[in-house]
Amino acid sequence: MRLGSPFARLKIEAGLCLGLVLTVPMASQGQQTAPPTLPVAPASAQELQPVDPAVSPSPPSAFSASPSGAPQDSAADAEPSIWSKVPPVVPLPRSGWFFIPPTGPGYYSLKDWVTDNYRENPPKYPYPPTSIIPNSYFDADYRFLDDPNNTQFDWSDFYKRIHIGDNWLLSVGGEERVRYQHEEGGYLRLFNGDNDYTLLRSRVYTDLWYRDVFRVFAEFYDARVNGQDLPPNPTDVNHSDFLNLFAELKIFELADHPAYVRAGRQELLYGSQRLISPLDWAHRRRSFHGVKAYWHGEYWDFDAFWVQPVIVNPTHFDSPDSGREFMGAWTTYRPKKGTSVDAYFLHLDNSRPANSAPLGGRGGKLGGYSVNTIGSRFAGDQNHFLWDFEGMYQFGEWVNEGDAAGAVTTALGYQFADVPMDPEFWIGWDFASGTFDPARAAQHGTFNQLFPFGHYYFGFLDLVGRQNISDLNMQFDFYPTKWIVTMMQYHIFRLDSARDALYNSGGTAIRRDPTGRAGTDVGDEIDLITNFHLSQHQDILLGYSKLFAGQFIQHTTGPKGSPEFFYAQYCFKW
């Protein structure tokens, strides 16, 4: 089927009725020309996922270019362009329950289907083709635009990778996002009644490089809420602030890969995001202030950082939290495409005196804590079998007690590659320890989840976090078309310790029974999610979640119902 067929013309006419969601002007292919930029290698093809893609560990090889940007007569005599390393390749690591998206010929967006743009392979996307964008815009890879043989063009190309003379490179971009939420009985908190409201978010960034030596990146954002019947959640509001504002400098080059030091306000994302994530689901993303050094090679990555979490002030300029210091070292080894091994050490020091022993332990004394986390993760796929294993152990001090805690993830999956709609099935178990009897224990045992993307792992109601919990879970996902993905999750939540609390995705204790008589049955949760990839710039996400409350919720003080949650989100990336 091609543009000349009656059915194709009928589809184009139908597409005119979809102007509301396809408002982006589209230049015809005959009118598109490559931008006058330095020729370098195209970005390597990425294996994209709806939540976070797994990408090839190999960085792109550079096309030859002269210092002035003109192609050399002999590739053997030419040196690679410096722009082939700008920005450094930072593959988005696979999340847990990672997807293996469809490949091969087909339509990869609604816009492709309407215009009969039948692609032989998936297009190059600098970010995942979903409404949720887990990675940071400063890692977006548009280097394929510098390739003189590039055939993938878009109306927005003119403000990406703008070469200013021979030494400067400028890119701008951003995002507009709107989400409607309807809650019955709780989201992040348990309550009686309904809550309907709309979340509006804007992001704008500027990225300036001097060769591959020096960089300044600034990202502004604004997050607002309209129509809340309850006080806004802590993650809902932040008016006109900087999400990222940093400079970085190349300090050396090893094995043809540069090492950088970055200083200022910045987002952090590592591994499965179970411990460190920008948390894109939240209306305001998470960022830190401090210093990070990194070297990313073909198979190995080494990162080290010292930062302080940024405290959000909804109506004033945000500032770093002087009472908390977060530092760590993270190493990743990628022996082959899609397979990775992480090893890490993390240290969180909280000197704020407002942190009391949980549930009045040790007389409820006030004090801070110092938590060390060592862990490792092994994730990958082979012959359609999928796996994800991660273990974490914590030790240190909590107020005036010792601290010893742990968390484990075990997940196995299978991709039915020869079945229509590319279905996958996962089954897993997530465990995070609690304190057996906080009122009497001489040692704190509740796992500290640090700064996670818990929303994805413990149900989209965000009533459960990675603390004092055991979660037997299952996930089923499939692609009705190459541009629609549907995901279903099922969770069976049980507390590790009946006397410890139920902690939500933000680490806040929202329900507890110090006697333990309410038991450990938190309940079962179902989550249904569908993402529609409308075009390179646009996505719609629909979701529904419900928690069937168990005995623990029914027999502790507070609302007894089974909360429900519906949301619809539109995201425009530019």
Rg (CA), the chain: 24
State which H helix or E strand residue 10 sits in. Answer: helix 6-16
Cis amide linkage into residue 50, ω under 30° from 0: no
Sign of CA dihedral 414, 417, 418, 419: positive
Backbone angles phi, psi at 286, to 5 degrees: -95, 135
What is the Cα–Cα distance from 332 to 378, expressed in whole angstroms?
10
Instruction: Please tell me the total count of domains within the chain.
Output: 1
Q: With contact defined as beta carbons under 8 Å apart, do 525 and 459 qualify?
A: yes
Q: Where are the beta strands (DSSP E) in 49-189?
A: 54-55, 162-164, 168-186
User: What is the C-alpha to C-alpha distance for residues 491 and 459, in angstroms, rounded to an integer?
Assistant: 7
> How far is it, in rounded angstroms, from Cα 465 to Cα 468?
8
Residue 106 DSSP symbol:
B
Structure tokens at 55: 């990408």
For the purposes of burial, counting CB atoms within 10 Å of the CB of 131, is it exposed (0-12), middle (13-18) or buried (19 or more)?
A: buried
Q: Confirm if 188 and 458 have CB atoms less than 8 A apart.
A: no
For residues 486 and 480, the answer to whether their CB atoms sit within 8 Å is: yes
Q: Is 76 contained in some domain?
A: yes
The verdict on residue 331 lying in a domain is: yes
Per-residue pLDDT at 56: 36
In a domain, 409, yes or no: yes
How does pLDDT run across 98-152, given as a tens digit for each residue?
999 999 999 999 999 999 999 999 998 888 899 999 999 999 999 999 999 999 9
Residue 507 three-state SS: coil
Q: Which helix (H) or strand (E) holds 350?
A: strand 339-350
Residue 173 CB partners (closer than 8 Å, separation 6+): 137, 140, 156, 159, 160, 204, 205, 573, 574
**pLDDT tens, position by position, 364-411:** 567 789 999 999 999 999 999 999 999 999 999 988 789 999 999 999
Tokens at residue 419, please?
A: 């079945």
pLDDT of res. 439 = 79
CATH at 224: 2.40.160.100
Instruction: Compute CA 176 distance to the chain's CA centroid, rounded to the nearest angstrom.
Output: 17
Q: What's the confidence (pLDDT) of residue 364? A: 55
Q: What is the DSSP string of 373-409?
A: EEEEEEEEEETTEEEEEEEEEEEEEETTEEEEEEEEE
State pTM to two decimals. Answer: 0.84
In this prediction, residue 53 carries a pLDDT of 39
- Residue numbers in the chain where pLDDT is lower than 70: 1-80, 187-188, 353-365
Give the Cα separation of 492 and 552 in Å (integer): 13
**Residue 114: which H helix or E strand, with range?**
helix 110-114
SS3 224: strand
Q: Which two tokens stand for residue 423?
A: 């279905």
Range of the domain at 469: 6-573
Give the CA distances from residue 360 to residues 44, 398, 437, in Å, rounded to whole numbers and listed in that order. 54, 13, 10
Question: Is residue 304 within a helix (H) or strand (E), and if so which, with residue range?
Answer: strand 300-311
pLDDT of residue 59: 34
Structure tokens at 35: 């931008």
Q: Are 510 and 463 in contact (CB under 8 A)?
A: yes
Contact present, 406 and 275 (Cβ < 8 Å): no
Q: Is the dihedral of CA 100, 103, 527, 179 positive or negative?
A: positive
Residue 380 lies in a domain: yes
pLDDT the model gives residue 80: 66
State the pLDDT at residue 79: 56
pLDDT score, position 60? 34
Look at residue 1 and tell me if it is in a domain.
Answer: no
For residue 334, with 0-12 CB atoms within 10 Å meaning exposed, 13-18 middle and 19 or more buried, which class applies?
buried
In this prediction, residue 320 carries a pLDDT of 94
Closest by CA position to 164, among listed 225, 224, 93, 83:
83
Residue 70 pLDDT: 36
